[in-house]
Amino acid sequence: MPENADDLDEALERIRGRVEERREAGDYPPGLEQQLDRHYHHILKGFDAEVEAITALRLAVANLRAQSEFDLSRIDTWSGNPIKRLLLRIIGKLTIRQARGVLAQVQQFSDALDEVLASLVPMIESLAGSGTEGGGRDRSDLEKRLHTALDRIGLLEERLDRSLEASDDRSV
Amino acid sequence: MTEIHQVLVGAGRTDAITNMARALREALRTLGESEIYAQHPAPGVDDVFPLDQFPLEDSAGRTIVFHASGGDPDVFELLNSVAERIVLVFHNIAPAELFDDVDPSRAEMLRLGWQELELLRPKVCLAIADSVHNAECLAGVGYEDVKVIAAGVDAYRLHRLTPDPPMWHRLGHEVHGPLLMYVGQSMPHKRPEVLVQMQYLLTRHVGRFPSLAMVGPPTVPVVNAAALEQARVLRVPGCLFYGQLTDAELAAVYRRADLFVTASMHEGLCIPILEAMAAGVPVVGRAVGALPDTVGDAGLLLPADAGPEMFAEAVGELLDDQGLRSRMAFRGRQRLRDFDEDAATASFLEALAGVV
């Protein structure tokens, strides 16, 4: 096994010293690491497949949100070939109006979709909860609301398709 | 015509073992026909054949290269019935006891993996481990003369790629301050929760506000889901759970990262660390498994029992010391000379020529 370089050994000593200092100063209260570990395992034990799916859904919605800021600057126009690069820039300038129009529509759609998803996630969470507690009537009511929300997404998608088609026609 | 196929238990689009097998396939095709077969190819993996398509005819004298990283009765059955000789490439097997609570069936497969290794031993004509640590583990189940060759490892694979522009833009939008990154499958021995707890201490107790990017496929989804939930409950800022990324997206994360941090308790080689070194990103981890051999003096290795407090202080120390980070990055690139892909492939083919 290769030996650590001296600077790494020294760094390790400083790290050890600082952990001790913080423990002594009470910045790291006694048992903090064990408490954090117990907390994690408590969460882990409480996870069943349904909760796991909801967390994954929440993560997916958060990821979707993070990617839903549409901007012209996100369209890559760089190329290793200078002629292609110039051509891409010219095309970008010529079609900037259309690109902005499409982006505005996509942003509008994304905002509406975000609203729908934001209302769906707690609904699905309650559905999962009512499933485990046997809340049949609540569940049926929530299912109706869920279907309504899904219908709304379908309508929004149709509207977006129509707008994009119209925009294509105009640009042609 | 020589026919040397490779067999894997699982295959993914971007996982390390499948990538190693892909690189070896190119080398093996210089000798004859060579394909990769896996019992569990992930959706979208179209260059690996399902194991049930393995050509069963003309098996006399056949040599199979088997990449061992876990057990599977169907794979074992095929190897036992079809292969006359096996070239074993051992990537180590994760500790089963850590999976007992979260994924009992996987735990069982991991235990089975060790048993199958012992049962296959009479057919193994050449045993290769991709690290000294893995060779020692293999010797522990009775294998002799294990060769250490990290064949098929291309540490600079991602470094050569153009980082994905949307991912680069996304990082610009989401990352505040220095970026700590981790890459690994969501599995209990990788201990992603320690990194979340480290981030909690950094932001609450140490007064540092880096971002923490967690990257990797959800192999045991509950592990990362619980870590994410802990981050949410404790309101830990800056935790970015990206899940599985494409190579170009991952290249963007490596390009943006300031430190690679792993709290893994068990590593057979750890390709993401080699990729971090190729990207000039200093590494912080625990001195466990193969990590001391892989990292050498290019990374800061904490004791095997280091907890989030020590990780938080280590990150603080390195973020404060640009000089040390630069020296580590430099040593990382030097260290990678020991993982030269062409030399390893040549050693692999030479070892193979001695038995085929």
Q: Supply the pLDDT for residue B327.
A: 96
Cross-chain residue pair A11–B321, CB shorter than 8 Å? yes
**Is there a single domain that holds both residue B172 and residue B290?**
yes
Of B201, B229, B309, the CB nearest to A43: B229
Q: Kindly tell me if the per-residue pLDDT of A139 is higher than 70.
A: no
The CA angle B29-B31-B34, to the nearest 5 degrees, is 40
Cross-chain residue pair B309–A2, CB shorter than 8 Å? no
> Torsion-angle region of residue B240: left (phi > 0), alpha (psi -120 to 50) or beta?
beta
**Is there a single domain that holds both residue B125 and residue B34?**
yes
Comparing B295 with A73, the larger pLDDT belongs to: B295
Residue A133 pLDDT level (bands cut at 50, 70, 90): very low
> Which CATH number covers residue B179?
3.40.50.2000
Min Cα distance B222 → chain A (Å) is 6
- What chain A residue is nearest to B324 in terms of C-alpha separation? A7
Residue B62 resides in a domain: yes
**Is there a single domain that holds both residue B129 and residue B183?**
no
Q: Kindly tell me if the per-residue pLDDT of A3 is higher than 50.
A: no
For residue B179, which of B79, B325, B30 has the smallest C-alpha distance?
A: B325
Q: Kindly tell me if the per-residue pLDDT of A134 is higher than 60.
A: no
Q: Supply the pLDDT for residue A136.
A: 45
Q: Kindly tell me if the per-residue pLDDT of A1 is higher than 50.
A: no
ipTM of the complex: 0.90
**Is there a single domain that holds both residue B138 and residue B188?**
no
Residue B155 resides in a domain: no
- Name the token pair of A105: 């529509």
How far apart CA B23 and CA B150 sit, in angstroms, is 11
Which H or E element spans position B232?
helix B221-233
Q: Supply the pLDDT for residue B130.
A: 93
How far apart CA B278 and CA A129 sit, in angstroms, is 47
**Is there a single domain that holds both residue B175 and residue B140?**
no
Cβ-Cβ contacts under 8 Å, B227 against chain A: 40
Residue B154 resides in a domain: no
- Of B148, B181, B196, the residue that ends a domain is B148
Q: Supply the pLDDT for residue B218.
A: 85
Residue B345 resides in a domain: no
Interface of A with B (CB under 8 A): 1-5, 7-8, 11-12, 14-16, 18-19, 22-23, 27-28, 32-33, 36-37, 39-40, 43-45, 47, 51-52, 55-56, 59, 63, 66-67, 69, 73-74, 76, 78
Residue B308 resides in a domain: yes
How far apart CA B246 and CA B161 sit, in angstroms, is 11
**Is there a single domain that holds both residue B41 and residue B16?**
yes
Half-sphere exposure of residue B181: CA atoms within 13 angstroms, side-chain side: 28
Cross-chain residue pair B165–A2, CB shorter than 8 Å? no
- What chain B residue is nearest to A5 in terms of C-alpha separation? B297
Residue A46 pLDDT level (bands cut at 50, 70, 90): confident
CB B38 within 8 A of CB B66: no
Distances (CA, A) of B113 to B71, B223, B298: 3, 22, 32
> Torsion-angle region of residue B86: left (phi > 0), alpha (psi -120 to 50) or beta?
beta
Q: Supply the pLDDT for residue A117.
A: 83
**Is there a single domain that holds both residue B170 and residue B290?**
yes
Q: Kindly tell me if the per-residue pLDDT of A78 is higher than 80.
A: no
SS3 A25: helix
Radius of gyration of chain B (CA): 20
**Is there a single domain that holds both residue B172 and residue B311?**
yes
- Name the token pair of B66: 């088997």
Q: Supply the pLDDT for residue A154.
A: 63
Residue located via tokens 């026909």: B33
Q: Supply the pLDDT for residue A12.
A: 97
CB B300 within 8 A of CB B319: no
**Is there a single domain that holds both residue B138 and residue B169?**
no
> Torsion-angle region of residue B191: left (phi > 0), alpha (psi -120 to 50) or beta?
left
- What chain A residue is nearest to B204 in terms of C-alpha separation? A27
Cβ-Cβ contacts under 8 Å, B307 against chain A: 33, 37
Q: Kindly tell me if the per-residue pLDDT of A131 is higher than 90.
A: no
**Is there a single domain that holds both residue B13 and residue B142?**
yes
- What chain A residue is nearest to B292 in terms of C-alpha separation? A1
Dihedral angle at the C-alpha atoms of B120, B122, B126, B128, nearest 10 degrees? 40
Residue B123 resides in a domain: yes
SS3 B207: coil
Min Cα distance A25 → chain B (Å) is 11
- What chain A residue is nearest to B164 in terms of C-alpha separation? A76
Number of structural domains found in chain B: 2
**Tens digit of pLDDT per residue, chain B (356 long)?**
688 999 999 998 888 999 999 999 999 999 889 999 999 998 889 999 999 999 887 766 788 999 999 999 999 999 998 888 999 999 999 999 999 989 999 999 999 999 999 999 999 999 999 999 999 999 999 999 999 999 999 999 999 999 999 999 999 989 999 999 999 999 999 999 999 999 999 999 999 999 999 999 888 888 988 999 899 889 999 999 999 899 999 999 999 999 999 999 999 999 999 999 999 999 999 999 999 999 999 999 999 999 999 999 999 999 999 999 999 999 999 999 999 999 999 999 999 998 88
- Name the token pair of B232: 């949410």
Cross-chain residue pair A28–B318, CB shorter than 8 Å? no
**Is there a single domain that holds both residue B176 and residue B311?**
yes
Within B238-297, strands assigned E span 239-243, 259-261, 283-286
Of B170, B225, B292, the CB nearest to A55: B225
> Which CATH number covers residue B76?
3.40.50
Residue A172 pLDDT level (bands cut at 50, 70, 90): low
pTM of the model as a whole: 0.79
Cross-chain residue pair A4–B310, CB shorter than 8 Å? no
Residue B348 resides in a domain: no
Domain that holds residue B246: 165-338
Residue B86 resides in a domain: yes
**Is there a single domain that holds both residue B142 and residue B170?**
no
